[in-house]
Amino acid sequence: MPDSSKKIDVDLIHRMEYELKKTKEAVPVILAKAPGRIHFLGGHCSPYVNIFLSAAIDRYVQVAVSPRQDNSLRYYAADLGERKRSTISNLKYRREDRWSNYFKTAIYVFMEQGFPVKGLSFTISGNIPRQIGLSSSSAIEVAAATALKGLFNTKITDIELASRLAQAHLLIFGKNPELADYITGICAKKDQFLLIDEADQSIKRFKSPFLRCKIILIDSGVSRFGGNGELAARKGELKSALKTLSKTRIGINFRALAETELRELMGNLSEEKRRRTLHVIQEIRRIPEAGNCLANEDLHGFAREIFHSHESLRDLYELSCPEIDWLVKRALETEGVYGSRMTGNGFGSCTYSIVKNEALNEYKSKIDDYERIFGFHPSIYEVKLASGSQILKKGGK
């Protein structure tokens, strides 16, 4: 796959400079980028687990920012040819602002810190596939925040920036985001997996043992209509299960439950809640075990943990669908595939598979029949583990 990130960066600078030609003064342009990410494990149990095995990928959002002489906020999506605007005094979510709402999260962070935020012009471009669970929205927030960090020349730490972005997102959107999205987008390193614990905001890093492999993402093309409601129902069942279990033991939580204790308490739960709870408990144990496999370069052990996680999502959490299961099964039938699993919010989205370079053609041939069987055209992306956000250009006209 050709790397088009440099072309996109240059093009974005040119577009921003074109936008600024209307002004008479030379103003600085800060250009930053932030990556998409994959949650390899742990991405479906928030807020009851809050540990993730994640990595950034080499698909990016690029954001250019420049100060204005007024108090207007201007946003231009170069890929869409769309413009939006708002003001500093009206920094709140508006449905009609769509993608530009994510900039407000980043702006709010620096306003709250007392920086002289006045008018700003933003231009955005990117190549992160959208709506398949790669966190393109938080990448906008991270890229914008990284650009503003460069504009104001502040020394805010990476973890503090991630935490403040999460708080600002809750304020603007009224929904709790996953802190791990921001931590991954900011703190990731090339060819590294991150084991992120949101409880104490700690990070354990593991060098990837898959340097002779490709990570293949397959967008199933399945519509997720109604999926958000089902996902909310799963989380509601977990909340109810935890409430039932807490009647037996005060202060109980899923992370504190041992398997032997869980079996003793299982009779208090309905069959449906029992399955959801089992998935959470097993996922909690899989994540550090997968980390151990990475540390010991146990590729087959890692693949086993990944597949067991998908089985659990399919059978216990019931978040998968026939199309996704078919893609995972085809991957596991290919020698040289080190794990395959669904990612994204479920009921569609996509799969990731870690495939040895020499097995890539055979793997792709396995999915040739997908469209004929299911009627959906799959989109295939090859990605690498990448570094977190960074400033690409600072200063100038």
Of the candidates 9, 58, 181, 197, the residue annotated as catalytic is 181
**Cβ-contact 317, 275 below 8 angstroms:** yes
φ, ψ for residue 130 (rounded to 5)? -100, 155
Encoded tokens for 282 = 């097993």
Q: Which residues pair with 28 in a beta bridge?
A: none
Q: Which residues pair with 276 in a beta bridge?
A: none
Closest CA to 44 of 270, 301, 342, 307: 342
DSSP 8-state secondary structure symbol assigned to residue 223 = -
DSSP 8-state secondary structure symbol assigned to residue 185 = H
Q: Would strands 337-343 and 192-197 be described as parallel, antiparallel, or unpaired?
A: unpaired
| 298 carries an active-site annotation | no
Closest CA to 122 of 95, 102, 108: 102
Find out whether the peptide bond into 47 is cis, omega within 30 degrees of 0. Answer: yes
Q: Residue 315 corresponds to which amino acid? A: D
Catalytic center residues: 181
